Amino acid sequence: MTQANPNFENKEGQKIPSVTFRTRQNDEWVDVTTDDLFAGKTVVVFSLPGAFTPTCSSTHLPRYNELASTFKQHGVDDIVCLSVNDTFVMNAWAADQESDNVTLIPDGNGEFTDGMGLLVDKNDLGFGKRSWRYSMLVKDGVVDKMFIEPDLPGDPFEVSDADTMLNYIAPDAVKPAPVSLFTKPGCPFCAKAKKLLSEKGYGYEEIVMGDGATLTSLKAVTGRETVPQVFIGGKHIGGSDDLEAYFNDQ
């Protein structure tokens, strides 16, 4: 197993740094403290080098967001993403990403990251000081478990991912299959399908006809011309009646 950078101290069993984060919410400055985020809670934290960077946007943040409901089922109150970026950048990234289930926190001055001993020099990329990539499980402000990326060139991404953290917390957890469905506005059968998915605890991505998707796309992908058309884990289920039958057979 690849070892973490020996210069990075594993903080398991220690309290997290006490920091106040400057955030912008609804066009107002709002101070958020580490007590606000962690006191009396079980929180998963993942920290990354920068908003909008490739690995962070394509994999790290989206997967934590995707597994958020499963984390909650196993005692996690919140998932926090930290980056040494200002609040305007983090807010723009949140709007751009699938991140509704993750709290994005700007460690603009790097105080929290420095306190964790994970502030690193990224001058070669023109980034200045940034966070080394890591994740941790924090219980009532105390670090229970840390996964620190190994000391390798570039931006290693081997152990701080959502699946590794979930496997630590709940090795037998059943991970939700990805779900997408084609819909159109005002369609009662689409509403029925979305209600069924929600009742069964399935998160889903909705592809709305006319909003970047066309009838040609629908026919090419599903072979059908009606909506909704539901896919679960890469399998084409069909319309709302098909979805109901699928759930009844489970």
Largest CA distance in the chain: 59
Where are the chain's structural domains?
Answer: 20-169, 179-248
**In terms of C-beta density within 10 A (0-12 exposed, 13-18 middle, 19 or more buried), how is residue 195 classed?**
exposed
| Nearest one of 118, 149, 176 to 56, comparing CA atoms | 149
Bridge partners, 25 (sequence order): 28
Burial of 240 (0-12, 13-18, 19+ CB in 10 A): buried
Task: Report the pLDDT value the prediction gives residue 199, as an integer from 0 to 100.
Answer: 87
Question: What CATH class has 179-248?
Answer: alpha beta
Q: Which residues are catalytic, by number?
A: 56
Residue range 30-63, pLDDT digits in tens: 999 999 999 999 999 999 999 998 888 878 999 9
Strand arrangement of the beta sheet that strand 134-139 belongs to:
103-106, 78-83, 42-48, 134-139, 142-148
Reference 206, options 58, 98, 123; nearest CA is 98
What pLDDT, on the 0 to 100 scale, is given for residue 166?
97
How high is the pLDDT of residue 153? 83
179-248 matches 20-169 in CATH topology: yes
Q: What is the pTM of this model?
A: 0.81
Gap between the Cα atoms of 66 and 200, Å rounded: 16
Looking at residue 36, its pLDDT comes to: 98
Going by their DSSP bridges, the two strands 134-139 and 42-48 should be labelled as antiparallel
Determine how many CB atoms are found less than 10 A away from the CB of residue 234. 8
Architecture of domain 20-169: 3-Layer(aba) Sandwich (3.40)
pLDDT in tens, the chain (250 residues): 333 444 688 999 999 999 999 999 999 999 999 999 999 999 999 999 999 988 888 789 999 998 998 999 999 999 999 999 999 999 999 999 978 899 999 999 999 999 999 999 888 888 889 999 999 999 999 999 999 999 888 889 999 999 999 999 999 998 888 899 999 999 999 999 999 998 887 888 899 998 778 999 999 999 999 999 999 999 999 999 999 999 999 7
